Amino acid sequence: MKSIFVRYRMAILLACAGGVLTLIDPDTGCRAFALTGDNILEMLSFLPPIFILLGLLDVWVDRETMMKYMGEQAGLRGNILAFLLGSAAAGPLYAAFPMAGVMLKKQASMLNIFIFIGAWSTTKVPLIMFETATLGFRFMALRLLFNIAGIVIIAKILHIQARKMDLNVPAD
């Protein structure tokens, strides 16, 4: 029983803080609980399909195939594939992390996983189309260029740091 409280201590602490806030300012407290409920419902609408797709990925794509296309030896091809997968993905950023976990389990390169997460967070295709329509092609192209450069630089730095920390990341 104690382990449940230890495991969920942050959620319990936040619920207590919300209760205190509701006692001090009922309107703000009720709005906070309503927003929390809305966020939980939104997350529940995204997560089941993502976990189904992850299960299919885990079963259908064998480790050798993942290593061939996304592993340490994949090189530039793996980097481009990781970028395209991240850019084409749909859903919020928190959905990328279970996908990255499956990729890591299948021995994809940490560099490619970092590129995948970076692309998921900044270069989604619908965002690019929206920017082109509202802000113009020039703005979109500049932002995309800077984002790609930033993604690659940050991914390489993180990859080097992961190797230095000996996180079971094979060398290039």
Q: Can you tell me the distance from the alpha carbon of 17 to that of 163, in angstroms, rounded to the nearest whole number?
A: 40
* Residue at token pair 């080097």: 160
Q: Can you tell me the distance from the alpha carbon of 1 to that of 80, in angstroms, rounded to the nearest whole number?
A: 48
pLDDT tens for 109-143 read 899 999 999 999 999 888 899 999 999 999 999 99
What is the pLDDT averaged over residues 17-36?
90
pLDDT tens for 44-65 read 887 788 888 888 877 888 888 8
Q: Can you tell me the distance from the alpha carbon of 158 to that of 172, in angstroms, rounded to the nearest whole number?
A: 13
Q: What is the pLDDT of residue 116?
A: 94
pLDDT tens for 58-108 read 788 888 888 888 888 888 999 999 999 899 887 788 888 888 888 888 888
Structure tokens at 5: 């409280």
Q: What is the mean pLDDT of the chain?
A: 87
